[in-house]
Structure 1
Amino acid sequence: MTKLAWRRTWFQIHKWIGLLLAILIIPLSLSGAALVWHDALDRIVHPARYQISGATLRTPETYAAAAQAVLKPGERIAQITMPEGKGPVTVAAAPATVDPDRRGPPPRMMIYLDPPTARVLDVAERNAGLVRFLHVLHGSLQVPGIGRTIVGWIGVAMMVSSFTGLWLWWPTVGAFTKGLRWRRHRNTDTNIHHMAGFWIALPLFVLSLTGAWISFPAVFGGQRAPDRGAQRAVPLAEPGQPLDLVVARAASVRRGALRSIAWPTSATADWTVTYAGGHVVKVADDNGVAVAAPARRPGGLALTMRRIHDGEGMGIVWQVVIFLGGIAPAVLAVTGVIMWWRAREWRAKVRRP
């Protein structure tokens, strides 16, 4: 196949990926750009839940009692999470029954508490609010069940689009530096498409690869898919062990800053107590025996891929790159559609007698 034939082939692939996926790429990329600073965005949207009076912590029983006072009948506490740094204590509660036809994890009610006083700062559904909406939009396009798979294939398509776009950007005559000129075309939108596409091609390829990795962990990383049965399990109504005893038994096995306590559920009869550093202690609900479990240590290729994709702890430079990598695909989609429509009108004029 000649060089010209390859160019025509890549052009068709690049064009139809952009045209067919533009309506999905725009919300996916813009939501990703916004989520680069999701913590700051959540503080802006929900300032009440961050109006804490200090960082001093009280006992988990105090937080459980404060949360129980605002729960609806039938709701059960599923987990208490302590803040890392300045932030509220969060208590997650689940309903007593779960709709068997419901796709995805069951609904959760989140209670935000002031650490020193256990005062209720805010109560909201886990899936409510702008930030959570953006997370679900970016992760599954708000489509239950198959949404995550759709997003994964969009990531694969974006990898192909990045490669073919860079190929098409490369000047056919002369050195590649000719492609760095702003005015390669008389239309501004075409110049924007060429220039933005070149500078964002490599970061966009990396973001698309990591996004596909997150969507298909079993394919890329050999990890098992989440257990749907465990996701839909509900907390026990009356655990056999009181919370204070569970905390004391766990502390006898492992020392450190307490991070979270997960209640026993219909799927597992163990309390799960997590400490700083990812250290986990399982406490049996029937006899109270505490056993140290393998630590959930930060690391591994899967976590690295997620950090690269999210920018968590990657520094301000990479976070800015990710932000631009979210804005650029939307710009490229819009300018690409404009270029296609203009070419369509031009071809129609040529065909007229």
Structure 2
Amino acid sequence: MEKAVPALGRPLTAEKSDEPASFARKFYVAAWRWHFYAGLFVVPFLLMLSITGLIMVYFNSVETRFGERLYVIPQGEMTSAVAQAQAAAALYPTGAVAQYMPPPAADRSALINVKVDGVSMIVAVDPYTNMVLNAVEKDSTWFYFASDIHGTLLIGDLGDRLIEIAAGLAIVLIVTGLYLWWPRDGSGFARVLIPRLSARGRALWKELHVTLGFYISIVMVFFLISGLAWAGIWGGQFVQAWSTFPAEKWDNVPLSDETHATMNHGALKEVPWGLEQTPLPLSGSEAGVTGIPEGTPVNLTSVEGLARAIGFDKQFRINLPGDATGVYTVSADSMDGDTETPTGDRTVHIDQHSGKVLAEVGFEDYGLAAKAMAVGTALHQGDMGLWNTALNALFCLSVIFLCVSGVVMWWMRRPSGVLRLAAPPLPANLPLWKGAVFIMLLLSLAFPLVGLTLLAVLAFDVLILSNIPPLKRALQ
């Protein structure tokens, strides 16, 4: 969270000494001050994101998301998808089947999502006997609880906005941290790339904080950007809005007012980022190409048969229409663990009345940003294999250490016996200080909520804190 000023032979508040402080020293202290203030807000959020991230990685890769991957004993032919869905729906007479996930292998159960009064219940069914094996409220599991905290702090849009601000400020934290890390005073890169383990006390904490922070900085920027792309303001209203798949590419297909985002069930995002804001097609027109043969009833069983005939295999999911104009949607993507790589993403919409294929979109149809997010989300979640899981776990632990070491360094530096925040001082008469702040704000204004936050902090620092001596003494 903060670093000590390098030993330049001057006291920390050099502007008060007889020798005028150098421009480099003043700029260093100014960057340290911003690093410190950004850390005050960011550290609790980074700890939360890292801890919940570890929980999600564990249940996504080591355990299961909600105990759904149940094994069965193969015994003859599987029953139909309709029969399996009916067995699940029988548990909840007032519910409606929203999604069907066929068994991905001969020894695995089918999974049926039943919506009951707005609550998603995941029901595991033996595909040979139609016996219900397990039923779990989807959002009541540790995985989804951690996911909800990770995305909203359990307080909806307000939590999303706070996390978006923290993620943007974390980028400021990284930029200022790299400036503080940069070798100076004649020391080479070898000196700052390897921690000096012979140091003791606060100096050792600093060595570890600085070196580890440098090594994970690029990875942290990747995690922050890929997470911000899901956020409500920068992601939903800026980046995602102009990167979403254009439904106009689907020739002469009537479109619904509902978007693909309505197929998300619960706290976790299940629809690929590049499709969330794309309108869904409508059933009931003459549009589409032949899918389910004429004369064959259009139901869950025939839709599953069509899906397998057009190349869906192993793990995929079928979202059922919610009303008379809705469509069957067959999909498989890496962020849900359906495909091994993001390049296998595929979504197909089928008219619930005619059985015609209305629209299809795959990874190759995504725009550049959507392709980057498909890959980024899979890496972010640790879906690319054991190596991805291990690296993500190591990254989360590294971020936790950075947060703890920053707090420890601050605690060891602060004056003992007094109630002071001990923030790095604001340098007086810093040349180009306003320009430096302007550059930092330009960087941050790429993220609107962060820009507004920094402007507010700057106004407080310059206009209020500097002019109220008691408050200034308490915070510095």
Deviant stretches of 4+, over 6 Å:
none
Taking structure 2 as the reference length, the TM-score comes to 0.60
1:243 aligns with 2:255: no
Compute the displacement of 1:311 (Å).
2.8
Structure-2 change in CA distance of 1:316 and 1:67 (3 Å): closer
Compute the displacement of 1:59 (Å).
1.7
Compute the displacement of 1:67 (Å).
0.3
Aligned residues between the structures: 330
**Which residue identity does 1:193 align to in structure 2?**
H
The answer to whether the 8 A contact 2:47-2:399 is kept is: yes
Q: Distance in 2 between matches of 1:228 and 1:272?
A: 10
Compute the displacement of 1:177 (Å).
1.8
Secondary structure of the 2:72 match is coil
Q: 2:453 — aligned with what? A: none
Any gaps of 5 or more consecutive residues in structure 2?
1-21, 246-257, 266-296, 333-338, 423-472
**Which residue identity does 1:206 align to in structure 2?**
F
Q: Distance in 1 between matches of 2:301 and 2:389?
A: 43
Compute the displacement of 1:228 (Å).
9.6
1:303 aligns with 2:363: no
The answer to whether the 8 A contact 2:151-2:159 is kept is: yes
Structure-2 change in CA distance of 1:201 and 1:229 (3 Å): closer
Root-mean-square deviation (CA, aligned residues, Å) is 3.6
Q: Distance in 2 between matches of 1:191 and 1:113?
A: 55
Q: Report the more deviating stretch, 272-281 or 79-88.
A: 272-281
Q: 1:280 — aligned with what? A: 348
Any gaps of 5 or more consecutive residues in structure 1?
98-105, 234-240
Q: Distance in 1 between matches of 2:162 and 2:94?
A: 35
The answer to whether the 8 A contact 1:280-1:293 is kept is: yes
Compute the displacement of 1:125 (Å).
0.9
Compute the displacement of 1:82 (Å).
1.9
The answer to whether the 8 A contact 1:200-1:325 is kept is: yes
1:50 aligns with 2:50: no
Q: Distance in 2 between matches of 1:206 and 1:256?
A: 31
**Which residue identity does 2:407 align to in structure 1?**
V
Q: 2:15 — aligned with what? A: none
1:294 pairs, out of 360, 367, 371, with 360
The answer to whether the 8 A contact 2:298-2:355 is kept is: no
**Which residue identity does 1:177 align to in structure 2?**
A
Q: Distance in 1 between matches of 2:35 and 2:74?
A: 54
2:87 pairs, out of 66, 81, 84, with 66
The share of aligned pairs that are identical, in percent, is: 21
Compute the displacement of 1:75 (Å).
0.9
Structure-2 change in CA distance of 1:253 and 1:324 (3 Å): closer
1:155-304 superposed matches below 5 A? 155-173=167-185, 174-179=187-192, 180=194, 181-184=196-199, 186-187=201-202, 188-215=204-231, 216-221=235-240, 222-223=242-243, 227=259, 230=262, 243=299, 246-247=302-303, 250=306, 254=310, 256-257=312-313, 259-266=316-323, 268-274=325-331, 278-285=346-353, 288-297=354-363, 300-304=371-375
Q: 2:401 — aligned with what? A: 331
Taking structure 1 as the reference length, the TM-score comes to 0.78
Higher Cα Rg, which structure: 2
